[in-house]
Each structure stands twice: as C-alpha cells, then as structure tokens.
Structure 1
Amino acid sequence: MVRRGIRGRRAVIWSAASVLVAGGAVAADAGRHLTGDYHVYTVRGRAMTPLLEPGDRVLVADTVTVQDGGVVLLDVGRTATDGPAFKRVLGHAGDRLYCCSEDGIRRNGAAMDEPYVRGTSFDFDVTVGPHQLFVLGDDRGETAGEQVSRHVLADGDGLVPETSVRGLAVWSTGGLVDGAAGRKARALVVQAGVGLLLTVAGAVALTVTWMQGRRSRRRAVAPDGPSRSAAPVG
C-alpha cells in the first residue's frame, strides 16, 4: 500500500512538473512576442476621439504594413505639440484627396465611408507624393480652420513622410482598434494568460503533493503510541 502511494505521488509530481514547464514555455513565447513586437503608449491629445480618449493606453505593433483606414502612431517631429500622435491613414502615394462635398472626403473621386468622424472637415485638395501618407484625426473639429496646403499641420495632420510611422495601433483600453492585428495581439495576451495559469496550477500541484508526501513520511516514522515502562517486579 505504501509503495502504491509513493508511485501515485511520483506520477502526480511528474504530471505537475510537465504542466509547469509547458505553461512556462507558452507564457514565455507569448511574452517574447509581446515585448519584442509591441509597445504601449498613452494617448495625450483628443484628435482621435471618440476612438481614443486622453489617458487611454494603446498597444502598438512596431512592424506593420500600413493600410488605408489604419490608426498609426506618428513621430512628426517639431510640428507636433504633444510628441508622438495617433492619426488615421487616409491616403498613400499617388492618391488625390479633396474635401468637402456633401459626401465628405473623396479619394480618387470616390466618396469615403467614415462613420468614425466627429465634427466637420475643412476644405483641402491634395495629391499624396512618393513615400508620403495623408493622415487626419477622427475629431476633425480639432483641426477646423487649418489648411492642409501647408502639408504638415501643427498637430500632425496632412501629408507626412512614411518614415514618420512608428507603429500601428492594434488594441486600446477603450477597445479593439485594428481588427486583424488587434485579434493577433489579443491572442498573444490570452496565450500568455493561459501559460501563466498552467504554470501556477503546476506549481500548486507540486507543492500540495510534496506536503502530502512529507506528512506520510512523518506518520511512517512516528511511534504507535507513548512508550510504557516495564512494570516493577515485586
């Protein structure tokens, strides 16, 4: 019976150790991708409201392929009042964008569907040059009255070099920002969480099994009862 108990505890120990090691590997792999490919930034301005509010924490993917409609973190240098800024990409090299008509902004003659916009855009007519992007904030009231013909506005709106893009906003405390990239980031976060749970579960199982084995050994060496002195012969 004792040997069966020992064998059972050994099996539990091996299983728990396997779970602990596997969980640690899963969490480490996710953590490596999250820390190596993503960084977290805090929103300062209101140009991207209501999607991004001041104080929101945003997960930004460093290596990205920028698509029209994506929200990017821009390093626009001295023209930005609050440092790096989040903006939405509306045009790439060769695109002609102009505003305003009854349909809002038009890109290459086609009306753009922008349900995220707050406020009214100002008038402009620009053609995006080589290695440039055309970006605007979602809250167009923040830049109302400015002229995009100045190419780069004080808060980063307008024509900017592609090299100013520091990353793609994929996830924020306010919700998902970019669909596909956001789902990938969320999957990594879930993976890290599952790995940590497995690691904790394995560690708990190891600790409980070790404590049970220790109590069993103590019972095995403990005397059956208090020793009795031999009765005196009289």
Structure 2
Amino acid sequence: MIEQVQPPRRRRSTLLDFIWTGVQALVLFLALSALIGRFEVHQISMEPTFHEGQRVLVSKLDGLWANVFVRTAHAAESRSSSPFALQRGQVVVFYRSLARDEDALIKRVVGLPGDTLEINGGQVLINGAAIDEPYIHGLSTSCGTTCGPFTLAPDTYFVMGDNRLNSLDSRSFGPITADQIVGRVVLRYWPLNQAELFP
C-alpha cells in the first residue's frame, strides 16, 4: 500500500515567523525611541557649531544618568563612574520647564554639579580657574544677570550657547536641573554633508 506523503505545514510556521519578526521590530523601535531622540535646530545661539535647520540625534541615556544618579552622589565621583555622565563641554538638549510644553533648547554644558562658577572679565571661571572654550572662537562672555561666584547644587548644570552674544541661557534663566535634560547631542545627521559625531 502506498500512502500519499503530506507536505509539512509550512504556511502556519511562516505566518508565526512573520508575526514574531514584527514583534521584535516593534520592540526594537520602542527601545530605540526611548534611548535616542531626534531634534531640529531652530535657533542661532549655538552658531557656529550648529545652524538653523540642522538635525541632531540625542542620547537620552545621558539625561537619564544625570536625572537618576547625579543626585545621589557628589558630581566629582559620578563624572568618572559612567560613560553616560555629562561632562563639561558636551552639548545637551533640554526644556526650560518641567512641563516640557515649549520648544526644546540646545546649549553647551559649562558648569557641572558641585562646581563654583563665576563670569569675570569676559571669561568663565570654574573653581577659580579660567576654562578653555575653543568653541566660542574668541568671543567674550558677558555676565547677564548671573555673575557669581556661586556653587551649583548636586543636580544642576550651567549651560550656555556658543554664540555668547546672542544666546538666552543660564546667564539669564539660571542653572537647569537634571529633570529638564533630555540628553546629550551625539550626532549631527542632517544635512548629510555636515554630519558629525560629538563626544
């Protein structure tokens, strides 16, 4: 007697594989969305580093580190304990209010938690010493309403635009808290011919 051999049930297996692949892709997309943000620059306060219309990727891990861990440890200890701890000179995206109901801003971190900061004679002094700021291309830093010296609280950062003559920043609205920070700019991806990684 001869029996007809039934082909394996491949259709059901293929459908399950397709569904499983879709679920994995969705999980990956959601994870990346939680860790990476995309922003477009709409201001001139960071020129010449960033110009209007440029687009950047932001690592939200840096904002999470600042928000969760910097509060629990002194800044000098936390800076070296994670690759995600914010460093002086890095560029961050943040909101001026915790409600996040206005446009995000992009500025450079100048003062870290625990730093004593002062603006004197057109220079920024951290813990009594002038810091090197090649990104401002020789521009003088005016005082605004905050001259110092003052010491930043454990969860606060002093941020300024590279275009010091045309930037609304911590000199006007004061230090920002870790809660306000979205994350650190890691890549300018648009326009493509101006793509650049940022440490």
TM-score by length of 1: 0.53
How has the CA–CA distance of structure 1 residues 175 and 105 changed in structure 2, closer, same or farther, with 3 Å as cutoff? Answer: farther
Separation in 1, partners of 2:197, 2:158: 19
Matched, 1:61 2:59: yes
Aligned with residue 132 of structure 1, among 145, 156, 164: 156
Matched, 1:76 2:96: yes
Q: Which runs of 4+ in 1 moved over 6 A?
A: 28-33
Mapped contact 1:44–1:82 kept (Cα < 8 A): no
Separation in 2, partners of 1:114, 1:82: 29
Q: After superposition, give the CA deviation of every residue in 1:17-51 in whole Å (9 maximum; x if it has no partner).
A: xxxxxxx9xxx698776444212110011111111
Q: After superposition, give the CA deviation of every residue in 1:109-155 in whole Å (9 maximum; x if it has no partner).
A: 121110101532112113212311111111100148x993x5x2xxx
How many positions carry a matched residue from both structures? 144
- Gaps of at least 5 residues in structure 1 are 1-23, 153-157, 180-234
- Give me the identity figure in percent: 27
| Deviation of the 1:81 alpha carbon | 11
Separation in 2, partners of 1:30, 1:108: 43
- Gaps of at least 5 residues in structure 2 are 1-20, 63-84
The root-mean-square deviation of aligned C-alpha atoms, in Å, is 3.2
How has the CA–CA distance of structure 1 residues 114 and 175 changed in structure 2, closer, same or farther, with 3 Å as cutoff? Answer: farther
Counterpart amino acid of 1:54? E
Matches within 5 A, 1:40-119: 40-64=38-62, 65-77=85-97, 83-101=103-121, 104-118=123-137, 119=139
How has the CA–CA distance of structure 1 residues 177 and 77 changed in structure 2, closer, same or farther, with 3 Å as cutoff? Answer: farther
| Deviation of the 1:83 alpha carbon | 1.2
| Deviation of the 1:68 alpha carbon | 1.3
**Larger radius of gyration, structure 1 or 2?**
1
Mapped contact 2:41–2:54 kept (Cα < 8 A): yes
TM-score by length of 2: 0.62
